[in-house]
Structure formats: structure tokens, C-alpha cells
Amino acid sequence: MKLKAYKIAEMLGGVVEGNDQTSINKLSKIENGDEQSLSFLGNSKYNNFLYTSNASIILVDNDLKLEKPVKSTLIRVENPNESFSQLLNYFSDKKTNLSGISKNSIISKNVKFSDDLYFGDFSICEKNSEIGKNVKIHSQVYIGENVSIGNSVIIYPGVKIYADSIIGDNCILHAGCIIGSDGFGFNLDKEGKQIKVSHNGNVILEDNVEIGANCTLDRATLGSTILRKGVKLDNLVMVAHNVEIGESTVIAACVGIAGSSIIGKNCMIGGQAGISGHLKIGDRVMIQAKAGVFRNIKSDTSVMGIPAIKYLDYNKSYVHFKNLPAIMKSLNKLFKNSKDA
């Protein structure tokens, strides 16, 4: 895919300075740009690269004053950062603008889908499922029975969606994630053996949810495991049965959330944090990386540590953690002196 400078300027509402027939087929950083690439100058710290970059086209601010001639074609725009983001989205959309159903795939009878569906090699969709418009399903995806998938959804290779799951509009499921697997539940019998608890519920992803690579979302025992609108999960996040995550909450990699916990909206959870089961986390809560949460947290609170306590309290306590050896030495000396007195 090649784009010429004049066409890019039209897309971005910019003005070409140089050869408007210059063409590019990729995007790059300004410091390592090469021929056929487009870059941008969005930070004055990188001004020196403007004069040495080999990028064919560079986006610059309307008001930028050149200190010396440049070899690249320039496109002057109001905001180079925003304009470059537009181009990133454009190139991304072109890559995902796929259509057609592979001859190596299997779509069972009674599945409803749109004519613009893309269904990749060796993917399978079981009976009575429904797939919306403008959906891209890549290779080796498994979709169980009675699954509902909304409009403009992207499902990357190797995703497994178990029966009865519901996926809203504009969701993105990255490679290898598993939606709707059994929860981890067992009961002890009289002989002390673990008896598996059946999980008969489902998983619901509301609109605009994004699930990172290799995440696992367990189906509910009864009812639903629910991710509300706009939730974003990083890679390798584990969400157990009957968990509910509120709108626009973001969760970093390697977080584990135990069963039946409810997390509020607009929360931020750092990497490798662990949340025990049957807890209630309020709205706009910040849980720092590697925190261990064992009790409910009120809204508008920031916590840290194991067990997690208020962020400021942890920082104050940490001053003393570092000095514990010296403190204990002083205490032992005081005890000894008191005994001798």
C-alpha cells in the first residue's frame, strides 16, 4: 500500500512542503526512518533528527521554523501527534480490512452471520450462534453453541469462546484468550475427595471491551461473569467465576481476580495484583502493582502492599520497614538497660 504526499495532506488537512508526489508505504520513528517511510516531529527534543532522518515524509507543526534545509518532504499540520495517530489507525484498518470465509473453516447450520464476515482458516463456529456485521474472525478460533457476537468485533487467532457467551459491539479479543471456561470450584465429600462443582452460567462482555492475549475468563456457576462497557484487560489476566468488573476499568498484566468479587467503574489495577474472592472494590480505586487485596476497598482509594493498605500509609510505613534492624537493635538495648536498672 503506497500513499503519496498530496493524498496524505488531504487526509490530514495539511500542506505539503517539497515534492507532493513523494510516496511512502510504512510508518517509522523519526530517528530511524528510511526511504518509503513517514515519520513525525511531535517533540522538540527530537528536532535534530529532522535534519538527519532518511524518512521520505515527515509531519511537522505549522509553526515550525527550519534552521537549515531538510531532505525529506514535509507536511505541515496543526498537531503532528494527532495526525500521526490518524495514520496509525488508517494503516491498522487496512491490515484488518479482511473479508471472505475460508474453505478450510467450519460454520454449522443455523448460524446467523453477515455477508461481510471474515472467517479465517481452520476456525469453527457451532450451531445456533449469531455473528454481527463487520466481524473479523482470524484463524483457529473456536466458537461454541449459542454464542452471540456483536458488530465490528475483531477476534484474533487461537481464541476459544465457550457456549452461551455474549460478546458486545466493538470488542477486541487478542490471540489465545479463553472466554467461558469452567470456574475453579470443588467441594469435599465425606471421604475428603474433591468433587467438581458444575458451572452452568456464562460470560458477558459488554460493548467496547478489549481482552489481552492469553487471558482467561471463567463462566459463572450460576448467572454471569460480566465485564461492563469499556473494560480493558492486558495480557495474562485471570478473571474467575461470577466476577463483575465495572465500566472503563483497566487491568494490567498478570492480575488474578478470585470468584464472586465485584470491582467498580474507572478503577486501575497494576500488574501482578491479586484480589481475593467475594470482595467489593469501589469506584475509581487504584490498586498498585503486586498488591494483595484481602478485604473490601471504598471508592476513591489507592492501596499498595501485601496485605494492601492505603498508598500513603504504605509509603510512611516503608520508611520504618527499611530501619527495622536498627529499631530492633535500639529496642533490645533499651530492654537490656531496663533489666539492669
User: Which residue has better confidence, 281 or 89?
Assistant: 281
Q: Which of 80, 96, 112 finishes a domain?
A: 96
Tally of domains within the chain: 2
In this structure, what CATH number is given to the domain that contains residue 194? 2.160.10.10
* pLDDT-based confidence at residue 341 (cuts at 50, 70, 90): low
pLDDT tens digits for 130-157?
999 999 999 999 999 999 999 999 999 9
Q: Which of 70, 96, 122 finishes a domain?
A: 96
- The domain in which residue 51 lies consists of 3-96
- Is 29 part of any domain? yes
| Active-site entry in 138, 174, 199, 241 | 241
User: Which residue has better confidence, 288 or 1?
Assistant: 288
Side chain identity at 4, as an amino acid letter? K
- Is 338 part of any domain? no
Q: How far apart are CA 1 and CA 3, in angstroms?
A: 7
pLDDT tens digits for 238-258?
999 999 999 999 999 999 999
Q: Is residue 149 domain-shared with residue 178, that is, in the same domain?
A: yes
Q: Is residue 113 domain-shared with residue 256, that is, in the same domain?
A: yes
Q: Is residue 259 domain-shared with residue 304, that is, in the same domain?
A: yes
pLDDT tens digits for 90-145?
988 777 778 899 999 999 989 999 999 999 999 999 999 999 999 999 999 999 99
In this structure, what CATH number is given to the domain that contains residue 65? 3.40.1390.10
- Is 319 part of any domain? no
Residue 199 annotated in active site:
no
Q: Is residue 137 domain-shared with residue 41, that is, in the same domain?
A: no
- Is 333 part of any domain? no
Given a cut of 80, whether residue 1 has pLDDT beyond it is: no
The shares of helix, strand and coil residues in the chain, as percent rounded to the nearest 5, are 20, 30, 50
Residue 41 is predicted with a pLDDT of: 95
Average pLDDT over the chain reads 94
- Is 332 part of any domain? no
- Is 57 part of any domain? yes
